């Protein structure tokens, strides 16, 4: 059995996460038992939610245990199988974690899923045609539920979720406005992702300034908002929401370091009779087949052209993850392991 390099959570962050919170370890891969599958990971997904799991406090999921392999989505290839439904060479996605190999009990439902790479690259199953894409789909379709002609806004617009959100919203004839960090990302959002406009939040020192830019980009107000960030950005958007607007709350990356994120104008939720709903996409597995069909079609017809930032080798994962939290990635952040 092969040697397996792993990244463990060694200690919990105080304030910002650092590379010193992680530990690299090499272990022997155990022999397979009946029903198990050995997967060689080709790609590891890095996602903002992982930062919240590093904290010890209560959240929607159990904290990442200390001294164990960091949780994370993986895409790879079966190299050995003692399960009748999986054969060596099958391309699969799962939650293999920050390591080069995983041994998976394939009898457990949802642990491992075969994917077709003839039209969709394997890495896309961790982004546009995977959890981030389905996250965008659920927030747009099930919570915002836009009508043609409405204006929808998404923060972290050029990331894996935001880019899928744009394609899905344009397919529904919406005006789509993004919020991203830096002129290069905003140009990419408009020129390649199909956004009608994109605002660089780094040009604005406070919510009032950002809200003024949103007024110019959204002359008819905002009907739906997909929230990935929180903090100043949410304050700015709330000032521009139309009556009976809908907000899908998916992430609050501005608060992942443990600092509180007070709302500046919470009364606007009542004044404008807003619907604000937080959601975790793994709790809505029933929509995944429908969402993945649409997302796969958008990729296959080049209406969704996701961008990826790829770091090389398992040892690069902690530094790449810290960069993701600081917005240094462009599109989906991956680690290539083979």
- Write the pLDDT tens digit of every residue in 143-168: 999 999 999 999 999 999 999 999 99
Does a structural domain hold residue 80? yes
Predicted TM-score (pTM) of the model is: 0.90
Establish if 97 belongs to a structural domain: yes
pLDDT in tens, 54-103: 998 777 778 999 999 999 999 999 999 999 999 999 999 999 999 999 99
Our count of domains for the chain comes to 2
Q: Is 334 exposed, middle or buried (0-12, 13-18, 19+ CB in 10 A)?
A: buried
Between the two ends of the chain, the Cα-to-Cα distance in Å is 17
Q: Is residue 328 part of a domain?
A: yes
The predicted pLDDT at position 60 comes to 72
- Other beta carbons within 10 angstroms of residue 3's beta carbon come to 10
In a domain, 85, yes or no: yes
Q: What is the pLDDT of residue 327?
A: 86
Instruction: Specify whether 92 is located in the same domain as 161.
Output: no
The CATH number of residue 121's host domain is: 3.90.180.10
295 within domain boundaries = no
| Share above pLDDT 70 across residues of the chain, in percent, rounded to a whole number | 100
Nearest CA-CA partner of 181 in 251, 228, 126, 235: 228
- The pLDDT of residue 64 is 94
Structure confidence at residue 252 (pLDDT) = 85
User: What's the confidence (pLDDT) of residue 251?
Assistant: 87
Rounded to 5 degrees, what are φ and ψ at 277?
-130, 125
Residue 147 sits in the same domain as residue 277: yes
The answer to whether residue 258 scores a pLDDT higher than 80 is: no
Pair (20, 39) in one structural domain? yes
The H-assigned helical ranges of 157-264 are: 160-170, 183-191, 207-217, 232-238
Shared domain for 145 and 225, answered yes or no, is yes
Same domain, 203 and 248: yes
Could you tell me the residue range of the domain that residue 194 belongs to? Answer: 131-282
Strand partners of residue 25: 6
Strand partners, 312: 336
19 with 113, same domain? Answer: yes
pLDDT band (50, 70, 90) for residue 196: very high
Does 302 map to a domain? Answer: no
């Amino acid at each position: 059995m092969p040697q397996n390099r792993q990244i463990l959570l060694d200690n919990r962050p105080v304030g910002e996460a650092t590379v010193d919170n992680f530990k690299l370890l090499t272990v022997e891969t155990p022999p397979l038992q009946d029903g198990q599958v050995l997967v060689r990971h080709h790609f590891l997904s890095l996602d903002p939610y992982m930062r919240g799991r590093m904290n010890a406090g209560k959240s929607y999921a159990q904290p990442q245990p200390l001294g164990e392999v960091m949780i994370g989505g993986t895409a790879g290839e079966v190299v050995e199988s003692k399960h009748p439904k999986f054969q060596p060479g099958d391309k699969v996605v799962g939650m293999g974690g920050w390591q080069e190999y995983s041994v998976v009990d394939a009898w457990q439902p949802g642990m491992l899923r075969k994917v077709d790479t003839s039209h969709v690259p394997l890495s896309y199953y961790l982004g546009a045609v995977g959890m981030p894409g389905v996250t965008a789909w659920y927030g747009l379709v099930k919570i915002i539920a836009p009508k043609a002609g409405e204006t929808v806004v998404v923060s972290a617009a050029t990331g894996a979720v935001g880019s899928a959100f744009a394609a899905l919203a344009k397919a529904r004839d919406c005006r789509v406005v993004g919020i991203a960090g830096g002129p290069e990302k905003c140009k990419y959002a408009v020129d390649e992702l199909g956004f009608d406009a994109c605002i660089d939040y780094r040009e604005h020192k406070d919510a009032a300034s950002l809200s003024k830019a949103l007024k110019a980009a959204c002359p008819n107000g905002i009907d739906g908002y997909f929230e990935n960030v929180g903090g100043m950005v949410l304050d700015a958007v709330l000032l521009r929401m139309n009556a009976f607007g809908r907000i899908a709350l998916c992430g609050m990356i501005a608060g992942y370091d443990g600092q509180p994120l007070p709302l500046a104008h919470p009364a606007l939720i009542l004044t404008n009779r807003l619907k604000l709903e937080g959601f975790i996409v793994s709790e809505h597995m029933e929509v995944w087949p429908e969402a993945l069909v649409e997302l796969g079609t958008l990729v296959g017809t080049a209406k969704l052209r996701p961008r990826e930032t790829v770091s090389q080798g398992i040892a690069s994962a902690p530094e790449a993850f810290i960069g993701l939290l600081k917005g240094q990635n462009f599109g989906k952040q991956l680690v290539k392991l083979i």
